[in-house]
Structure formats: structure tokens, C-alpha cells
Structure 1
Amino acid sequence: MSSSYDGLWGIGELAERAGVSVKTVRFYSDGGLLPEASRSAGGHRRYGPDSLERLRMIRSLRALDLPVPAVRRILDEEETAGRPGGALEDALAGQLRTLGNQLAALRWREAALRAVQECPAAERASRLRLIGAVTAPPTTAPLARFWRGWLPPRMPARSVTAFLEAAVPQPPEDPEPVHVLAFARLCALVSRPCDAQERSRTQPHTHKAAGARASAVLYAGLAEAYDLAAAEMRQARGPRPGEALEAFVDAYARTRGTADTPGFRRVLARRLAADPRIDRYWELTAELVSPPAGRPEPTPGSAHDWLLAALRDQVGAVPSA
């Protein structure tokens, strides 16, 4: 109940009832979040009893670190609809995303600090430079740029996106020092200055010959084959004929518009064995996506090696060029 004759409270009484300072009430009033009911003859602010609940709601929302504009939208919606709705949902979701990013950055920084702390003193300067080049939380943009420059030009956007999802590893949510090092080394690897000719030399000849549209078909088929091979590898099965190898060869045969014959398989094995390789990229990717002390997680690179070994075993050893 109000202690005044007109049922309204002064700013001090409202502040006392809400357990906040007069300065806080004045701040929210001046910002339009807490409208005053009237002014006294002396020009003092007067508030109705409903202002107490509104002030408590403001304090609760601000305690969640919601920004003032979001609080304003929530209060306006509550006043119109009688209860919080979409504005509150949006604000909470946005705040959760922000906190998620902050937590990810903290976890990454902790692992980075441990990576520097645990290395020999003589290596700390170089390791600091390596890790310091990576943002926290880390971004995979450098890896995506590398592969976009590596892929045939004018490939359909959907095919490029699907390829990047397979080729660009995501750092773990709770990284260990080994993961930080692997990611930093990956970024350093793909960020080395190189001209178009050097980048062209790293692309498999069997892929370049296909062209943009045909390459999209090829990569889609290879993605299926790599998934099948990865399932075999997780079962600790060595390279062997089967569904994965059939999908692998079929991807190349369909792209080239040729029949899958023993002769084609021999030629394919020989050409794939002579193709340029990016082994270091896939080695670091495996370190990044695998548990520190567990079995290495298959990558497109290791799945390709598994499939090529199965093909070579099937057609007979093919000497590398």
C-alpha cells in the first residue's frame, strides 16, 4: 500500500520498496522504461503501485544482462499482450548465443595457454606466434578460402557448400592443447603465400580434367564413398573390396562417361597414385577432430587413402609416378 494520500509513491519510496537506489529508478525513468504516473506540485516524480512490478521485471531482465533496447521491446510487448512473448524469446536466444561464443572463446584461450605453458621453454616464442595468429573463438574462414581457391571455378554453389562441410574441420567445443596446435598449424598451412600456379599443382589431375559441372558430380560421389569407407575404418577394417570401393570407382567412371572395367580400374589406380597430395592438411585435420588419446577419426584424406589402397590391392600394385 502507498503511504501517500493519492495512492502514488515518490521516487524514494519506490526505490526503497524495490530495493534499488534512487539513481537506478531515475535512470530507468529517464530512459522511458519506467513511466511516471504524474508530477507533484513541486515537480517531483510520482509512481503508481504497478510501477513496482514493472521495476522488478526490468531488474530481472537486466540481471540476465539483456540490453536496454531488448528490455524495452519485452516490456512494450507485455503491456500490449498482457504477457511476454516473441520479444522475450528472441532476446533470450540472442543472449544464449552471445554467452556461447564467450564460453567457447574462454575454453579456447585456456587450451591455448596450456599449449604454451606445457611446451619446452625454447619453443615458447614460436608457439606463441603460431597460436597468437588464431582468433578466439577460432574461425574456419581461412580453411574455407583455401578450398574455394582449390576447387574448379564456377562449380555450383550447392556442391561447393557440400564439399566445404566435408573438407573443413570444426574445432571441438571443449578443446585440448593438441587441438589448438593442430588448428593453428592448419591455418598456417593454408595461409602460406602461394600463386595460382602453385595452388593448381596441388589439385588432383583426375579432378581438373572433369570441369566444373562434372566435378560437382564427382565430389558428390566421392563424399558417399568416403562416408562408406569411414564406417569401415571405424570398425578397424583394412582396405578391401566392397560397397565403399564400388562407390569410389563409380564416381570417377560416371564423371568420365566410361564403363567400369578392369582396364579402367587399372588406369584409375595409376592416375590416382600419381596425383598431387595434401597429406599434411589431412594429418592435422585428424589431430583436430580426434580424441587426444583415442583412435584417429577418419577424414576425407584418410578415407581416400583407404579406398586407393583397396583399389590397388584389387588391380595389383601400381607403382607411384
Structure 2
Amino acid sequence: MGPDGMWSIGQLAERAGVSVKTVRFYSDRGLLPESARSGGGHRRYGPDALDRLRLIRSLRTLDLPVPDVGRVLHGEDDLADVVAGQLKEVGSRLTALRWREAALQLLTDCTAEERAERLRLVGALSTPPGTAALARFWRCWLPARLPAKVTRAVVDRAVPVPPDAPTPAQVLALARLQDFVTDPCFVAGPRAGADHGQPDVHAPGKGHRPALLYAALPEAYDLAAARIRAGRAPHPGEALDCFVAAHAASLSRRDTADFRRVLRRMLAAEPRIDRYWQLAAEVTRPPSGPPEPTPGAADNWLRAALGSP
């Protein structure tokens, strides 16, 4: 420190353990203001510059971009918020790395014949993977003109959330699921084609109100899922009554024995996407134990209950 109580750029750099080039870099960007200039035009820094330089280095050690560091130093952004945002970004990077690691493991633990097909499937996934294609599939699959709130609720339940730390099997399942929903036969809307024979239970029209059906089905699925977890075989009861009531209300009918027979035939004629639900269950399968019942599994249980004595 000179007689004026200030440091030269070299003295500050030495005390902070950085290069003169680093001090000049932060000074030029307004992060480390100089206190004065010498008679020869050299930068001079007060004692507080050392603490500020150490703070800058700490923030940069957290991989905070220089503009973000500047906003923190100038009081434009709260440090806690910036750190939280950086933590979220690091988490996203870690998730991407875990997915990449599991994908590489998937491509390692297979035969040469399997590897080419797996590479094709996995190559279509982003890292970390998104679920936009799955959401689009459901918006095509659902009946037209459902209220936005009902559509969102169905999509939220139907689209599996990819795990942060997947197994190779989960990577393969999600890759196959994305491949399934991007099949050309689904792109234009799987319910739109005449070959699917769209059932009345899903067709909007006089006396048919699919919005009521899709708003009420989650309760029936939750009741059925509880019985699936308990290992109960399909059987009549509260879950089935709720399921039938949802269909009856949407068709402006009463729950009678005759209606149940008609409903059974209508449901049997519906297009099926069991493959979707099998893959979705695998994507969210826990590390141990059976997979969590999907809406598809609950629907199958309820259909079977509808046909039971």
C-alpha cells in the first residue's frame, strides 16, 4: 500500500492472489471501480477493493456469469435469488448428465443388432428429455372442444414425468414412448380416422357431453388405483359405480343394468392405447416394487370390473 493508503493494480492483484489481467478485466466491466488515478494515469484502489474482488471471485467460482455478478454487486438482483437460479441450472445439467449416462449404459448393455435400433430411439430424445410430444399426442387423442381446464388435467395425469436419475430401462421406455406417439397414424389425430370407429361415448353431440366424462373419470381412476395397489382383483363396488356414473352423466343416461351392458359394448369398441400405458408405467417405475398404477391401468381394471358378475 502506498503512502496515500491505496494499492496499485499489481499490489491488489498480489494480495488477492489473481493476475493483473483479471483485476483489469473486472475494472473495465465496472465491477471493481478504481478509487483514483496516479499522476502517471495508473489505477489506484482503496482497501475495500480487496473485499469486493474476493466477493467477485466467490461469485464467479459458483459459475455465475459476469453480467449476473454485476447485477448482484450493484444491488439490482438479490443474491439469494441469483444463487437459487444457479442451483436450478446446475440441477438441470446434472439431470442431463444422468440421462446421458443411462443412455450410454443402455447402448453398452446390448447386442450389436439391438444397438442400432436403440441408438435410433435414444437419438430422438433431448437431454434432459421433454414431454411436449406426449402432450401433443393427448391433445390429438382427446375429443375436440374439451374445456381447456379439463384438457390440462387429463394431459397432466397422462403424461409421465421423466425421473431425474433414470435407469437405462427408463431411458429406453421413454424413447419408445416418444416413438409411439410420433407415429404418423397419430399425428393427424388418432380419433379422427374412420378406421378407429370413434365411439359415441367420446363423440360430442346431442346428449353427449365428453367434458363431463373426462372431468369425472379421475375420481374413479383414483379409487381403482387404490385397489390395484392393494392387489384386489376387478370387482363391483364404489370405484366401478363412480366409473359408470361418469359415463352415464356424459350420455344423459341413468346407471341401470341395461346401461351397463350397453356401456360394456361401447367401451369394447374403443380404440386402445395399452402400449402407451405400459411404457408410461415403465418410465415412472420406482427403484423397487411394482409400478404406480397409471390411468390406463385403472381404466382396464374398471372395464374388467364392469364385465365381472
Q: TM-score, length-normalised on structure 1?
A: 0.90
**1:223 Cα offset (Å):** 1.1
Partner of 2:234: 239
- 195, 199, 209: which one aligns with 1:205: 199
Partner of 2:269: 274
The one-character-per-residue Cα deviations of 1:32-71 (angstroms, maximum 9, x if unpaired) are: 0000001101010000111111111111111101111111
Distance across 2 between alignment mates of 1:291 and 1:162 = 23
Letter in 2 for 1:234: R
Distance across 1 between alignment mates of 2:243 and 2:302 = 7
The one-character-per-residue Cα deviations of 1:95-142 (angstroms, maximum 9, x if unpaired) are: 112111111110101111111111112221111111111111001011
Q: Secondary structure at the match of 2:44?
A: strand
Distance 1:207 1:96, change over 3 A: farther
**1:72 Cα offset (Å):** 1.0
Whether 2:61 is the aligned partner of 1:63: answer: yes
Pairing 1:1-321 to 2, within 5 Å after superposition: 3-77=1-75, 87-194=78-185, 196=188, 198-201=190-193, 205-210=199-204, 214-291=209-286, 294-314=289-309
Distance across 1 between alignment mates of 2:142 and 2:29 = 53
Structure 1 runs (4+) greater than 6 angstroms displaced: none
The one-character-per-residue Cα deviations of 1:253-294 (angstroms, maximum 9, x if unpaired) are: 111122111111111112112211111111111111113663
Distance across 1 between alignment mates of 2:286 and 2:190 = 33
The answer as to whether partners of 2:36 and 2:43 remain within 8 angstroms in 1 is yes
Partner of 1:83: none
The answer as to whether partners of 1:108 and 1:137 remain within 8 angstroms in 2 is yes
Distance 1:89 1:207, change over 3 A: farther
Distance across 1 between alignment mates of 2:73 and 2:201 = 58
The answer as to whether partners of 2:124 and 2:175 remain within 8 angstroms in 1 is yes
Distance across 2 between alignment mates of 1:204 and 1:89 = 54
Q: Secondary structure at the match of 1:189?
A: helix
Deviates more, 1:249-258 or 1:146-155: 146-155
RMSD between aligned residues: 1.9
**1:211 Cα offset (Å):** 5.3
**1:153 Cα offset (Å):** 2.3
The answer as to whether partners of 2:224 and 2:301 remain within 8 angstroms in 1 is yes
Distance across 2 between alignment mates of 1:153 and 1:55 = 60
Q: Secondary structure at the match of 2:74?
A: helix
Letter in 2 for 1:76: H
**1:87 Cα offset (Å):** 2.0
How many pairs does the alignment contain? 305
The answer as to whether partners of 1:282 and 1:299 remain within 8 angstroms in 2 is yes
Distance across 2 between alignment mates of 1:119 and 1:10 = 63
The one-character-per-residue Cα deviations of 1:292-321 (angstroms, maximum 9, x if unpaired) are: 66313211111101001111114xxxxxxx
**1:198 Cα offset (Å):** 4.9
Distance 1:58 1:203, change over 3 A: farther
The one-character-per-residue Cα deviations of 1:2-53 (angstroms, maximum 9, x if unpaired) are: x311111100111111111111100000000000001101010000111111
Distance 1:214 1:44, change over 3 A: same
Q: Secondary structure at the match of 1:109?
A: helix
Letter in 2 for 1:105: A
Distance across 1 between alignment mates of 2:35 and 2:126 = 50
